């Protein structure tokens, strides 16, 4: 479904897919959507969906021993990034595919199979933040393949149940927000994608962890879902005036 925020009008795209289109992403020109799904022949892969007609065209189709759980556009719309997970090795890779030539470049390999879908594109589009696993680490990878590990839990921290939850880029791309802590007692932190010591911002939700973390373009508000009250319910929250001021790098 495509819904107009201004008018509320909804338009359904009839898709020739056997599963729902996961994690749809608008193209930079707004003309199409990128999603992972299976076609009518059961072939799992990355598909391009025309936003007007609903026509589906395959970009990447996986073999029987592989799946993909995440895909996104490059900023210029001439390439895509996607995750390829191999069932035999239980490991995953991040690849960049040129849409004009079909040529592919490996950006990262050896990622944990189950959490390889935890990938976030930076605001400028040329860096990827990867949460390797709940109890693993956090790293940033550039489109050239340069990798920087930002966070890695010690064995002691893992035994204490310390984990990473939601992750989000700040709008200026100068920090990543992430939740860290034991289940039910997580706190919000930030760290530079260039590395360095993380900075604790606080625990806005008491005993509730964060999820679906998203930062408003003004850098002053965050939206997230929360759950875990024991009644099976969930809530959607917005917090204002909680984050540090964004620095002005415009020269004004």
What is the span of the domain harbouring residue 243?
Answer: 152-252
Task: Say whether both 20 and 63 belong to one domain.
Answer: yes
Q: Residue 51 has which token pair?
A: 């936003």
Domain containing 90 — which CATH number? 2.120.10.30
Task: Say whether both 102 and 162 belong to one domain.
Answer: no
Q: Measured on CA atoms in the order 81, 131, 109, 144, is the torsion positive or negative?
A: positive
Largest CA distance in the chain: 56
Choose among 137, 221, 129, 143: nearest CA to 176. Answer: 129
Contact 69, 46 (CB under 8 A): no
Q: Last residue of a domain, which of 98, 117, 136?
A: 117
Task: Say whether both 179 and 102 belong to one domain.
Answer: no
Is 183 a domain residue?
A: yes
Low-confidence ranges of the chain (pLDDT < 70): 112-118, 132-136, 203-212, 225-252
C-beta atoms surrounding 199 within 10 Å:
12
- Per-residue pLDDT, 46: 93
Count of domains observed in the chain? 2
Is 127 a domain residue?
A: no
Alpha helices of the chain — where are they, by DSSP H? Answer: 155-159
The whole-model pTM stands at: 0.73
């Amino acid at each position: 479904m495509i819904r107009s925020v201004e008018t509320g009008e909804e338009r359904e795209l009839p898709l020739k897919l056997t599963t729902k289109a996961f994690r749809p992403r608008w193209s930079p020109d707004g003309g199409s959507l990128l999603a992972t799904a299976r076609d009518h022949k059961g072939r799992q892969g990355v598909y391009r969906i025309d936003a007007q007609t609903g026509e589906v065209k395959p970009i990447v189709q996986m073999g029987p021993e592989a799946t993909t759980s995440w895909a996104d556009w490059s900023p210029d719309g001439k390439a895509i990034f996607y995750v390829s997970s191999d069932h035999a090795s239980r490991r995953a890779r991040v690849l960049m595919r040129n849409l004009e030539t079909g040529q592919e470049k490996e950006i990262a390999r050896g990622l944990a199979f189950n959490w390889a879908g935890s990938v976030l594109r930076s605001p400028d589009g040329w860096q990827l933040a990867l949460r390797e696993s709940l109890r693993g680490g956090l790293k940033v990878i550039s489109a050239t393949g340069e990798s920087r590990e930002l966070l890695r839990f010690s064995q002691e921290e893992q035994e204490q149940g310390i984990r990473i939850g939601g992750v989000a880029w700040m709008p200026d791309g100068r920090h990543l927000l992430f939740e860290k802590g034991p289940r039910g007692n997580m706190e919000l932190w930030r760290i530079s994608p260039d590395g360095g010591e993380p900075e604790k911002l606080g625990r806005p939700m008491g005993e509730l962890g964060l999820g679906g973390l998203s930062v408003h373009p003004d850098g002053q508000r965050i939206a997230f879902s929360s759950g875990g009250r024991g009644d099976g319910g969930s809530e959607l929250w917005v917090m204002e005036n909680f984050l540090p001021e964004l620095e002005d790098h415009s020269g004004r």
